[in-house]
Amino acid sequence: MKINGTPYRSVWVNEKDGWSVHIFDQTRLPFALDVLQLTTPEQVAHAIKTMQVRGAPLIGAVAAYGLALALRADSSDNALEQQAAMLAATRPTAINLRWAIERMLTHLRPLTPAERVAAAYAEAGRVCDEDAAQNEAIGQHGLELLRTLAAQRGKNDKINILTHCNAGWIATVDWGTALAPIYMAHDEGLNVHVWVDETRPRNQGAALTAWELGSHGVPHTVIADNAGGHLMQHGLVDIVIVGTDRVTRNADVANKIGTYLKALAARDNNVPFWVALPSTTIDWRVADGVHEIPIEERSGTEITHISGRDDNGQISRVQITPDGSKAANPAFDVTPARLVTGLITEKGCCAATPEGLLSLFPEQG
């Protein structure tokens, strides 16, 4: 995707500065476009934990490169296992992280220590290339849904899409998941408009999704998190498309906290609720999302404090709760499959059922 006309991916390697890994510092967006240079696995782990890098597919890709950085210092068997475990423990909910680390270990364990560094960089690069290709395919399949809506309503009629959190290119290596069909529809000339809910407590919608869409020229409007149901009641939402951090084999969906409430409102108002994901986000080992997916509990300060730009253009952090008030901060919730209209994957769209998933991925049966 492009920023001010220049194409970027969300992670890249610079051979000229010691094969360091570069990412955008997402905690600085939308007010500053800062690039972080990561040279150690500890820096990668810190970036993941603090959400300088976030989004399930991108976390996996950056962690893969983190293992490559680790092997530059020590490529022994013990170091490989220890550094992999350290990186895998940084975020518990998004399954792409574990998937990427396990893929790297499978590829690297049979090799000699002398072979591992070059092989690790090459395999991490393949992880990135495959993610970009998968997300582009997701965009094409999701575009068909929006084309169908346009045909039903008339090409010039506005299609109102509601999304939650950020599932755009900044959350993946390229293209994004939920936003990929929207970019393609916009570029094709369909009259799309996106309702961007703020996504408290970290405001990824207001900060990241709005920045992405604005940079690409996609019409959008930022709304309060709790406005989505009201808009649906008044016929102002034609379709909901969200991303996900983990999908079970029964098609339960773990995503940013608040997704479940959007799905309930969509069901009550007969609004299609679609989830976009690469197959790397499916956890075939888990069936019941509510009881089996670990939900990350993040710091209460994300609730009690908020950052923004003041009238003087300065970025500041302020407290919004009384002294002494406790805050609970579950970072994700699980939307049961019964509330999901369907899944958009790189292999096509399917019903949110075990049978639907297996129709696209029969090798998992």
Residue positions annotated with a catalytic role: 245
d(CA 284, CA 290): 15
Structure tokens at 149: 């809506």
Residue 123: phi and psi, rounded to 5, are -70, -40
Cα distances from 56 to residues 79, 122, 191, 267, in angstroms, run 25, 21, 29, 26
Structure tokens at 223: 């709304």
Q: Residue 18 corresponds to which amino acid?
A: G
Q: Residue 169 corresponds to which amino acid?
A: W
Strands of the chain, DSSP E: 2-3, 6-7, 11-14, 20-24, 35-38, 159-163, 192-197, 220-223, 239-242, 246-248, 253-256, 273-276, 282-283, 305-309, 315-319, 332-335, 342-345, 348-350
Other Cβ atoms within 10 Å of 54 Cβ, number: 24
d(CA 57, CA 55): 6
Closest of 222, 219, 112, 122 to residue 166, by C-alpha: 222
Sign of the torsion angle spanned by Cα atoms 160, 162, 168, 172: negative
Interior angle at CA 177, CA 4 and CA 291, nearest 5 = 140
Beta pairing class for 159-163 and 192-197: parallel
